Amino acid sequence: MAAGRKVTMSSAGVAAALVALLVVAAASGATGYHVCNVDTDSLVNNCKSYCTAGSSEASPSGACCGAVRGGDFHCLCQYKGVLPKNIDANRAMQIPGKCGYGAVSC
């Protein structure tokens, strides 16, 4: 997806989906598992610290942005209903915009 390109999904929906995917991947202990064109290992390893409640990171890492690049955001929307208490949904919602993927909505 090109930087700044508008996609028809809300950042909140995509972020929730990404966080849910992160949680599912972490809980399953799966390695090399891909969901909606996102490598779950990469997502957990590179985005969790930014989304964790109390994180002081100013922005998601380049590796986090890389982990979600090419993801099928429409597919990820189906995971938006699962957000654990230790994940800051507001920070998760910032990932698409801070990574330059533009506004997205489910």
Q: pLDDT tens across 41-85, in order?
A: 888 789 889 988 999 999 999 999 998 888 777 777 776 666 677
pLDDT tier at 100, thresholds 50, 70, 90: confident
Total-model pTM? 0.69
Domain borders along the chain are: 11-98
Residue 98's pLDDT is 86
Multiple choice CATH, 11-98, 3.40.50.1000, 3.30.559.10, 3.90.550.10, 1.10.110.10: 1.10.110.10
CA dist 87 and 91 (Å) reads: 8
Average pLDDT of span 6-14: 57
Q: Has residue 97 got a pLDDT over 70?
A: yes
The residue ranges of DSSP E strands in the chain, in sequence order, are 34-35, 38-39
| Sign, CA torsion 33/35/39/42 | negative
CA dist 89 and 106 (Å) reads: 15
Residue 32's pLDDT is 66
